[in-house]
Amino acid sequence: MSAPDAGPRPWGRIRDDIKARGLRWTRQRMRILEVLEAAEGHVTGSELVERCRERDPATTPSTVYRTLDVLEELGYLSHSHAASGREEFHVPPVAEHAHLECRICGQTWELNADEAASVVEPVARRRGFVADVGHLTILGRCAACATHARIPVEDARRGR
């Protein structure tokens, strides 16, 4: 994503941005934006749907997901997939970052922009590939689990 990021949240601009593109400013979108304003860091899609329903029980999931798509296209959000495959949205203000997720203990860590850049540098250099760092989640075993756990087969199950 290349648009607004860092600094105070751009919610105020969004309305104008939406209208400037011939898109429409609706009650539903306002509500979703309100929810996003109250959120921070990472939120799953269903959590956002849930929070919208708290404000207005009539909220429909499809509308929420479609609006999230639009906001992502406009560059105000990004999402990645956790190891479970569920969507995780990154809500500003959060600098763009990637994730590390341990399949044994389930813990996650963030990779800051620099660290993430060093990870994708080889594919950029050798293939000219411009990685979407915000979407990146690396699954594996964290230092602690890698050393003392002997991959207990039954417990490892949670990789999907």
Among 32, 100, 106, 108, binds a copy of itself (CB under 8 A): 100
- Smallest distance, Å, CB 20 to DNA? 9
Report residue 10 as tokens: 């751009």
Report residue 113 as tokens: 């922009």
- Smallest distance, Å, CB 63 to DNA? 4
d(CA 108, CA 33): 27
Number of residues in contact with a copy of itself under rule CB under 8 A: 46
Q: What is the DSSP letter of 134?
A: G
Q: Is 7 helix (H, G, I), strand (E, B) or coil?
A: coil
Q: How many Cβ atoms from other residues are within 10 Å of residue 25's Cβ?
A: 12
The interface partner of residue 33, options being DNA, a copy of itself, none and the CB cut-off 5 to 8 Å by kind, is: none
Which amino acid, residue 40? E
User: Which residues contact a copy of itself by CB under 8 A?
Assistant: 2, 69, 72-74, 79, 81, 83, 85-87, 100, 102-103, 109, 111, 115, 118-120, 122-123, 126-132, 135-136, 138-143, 146-147, 151, 153-154, 156-157, 159-160
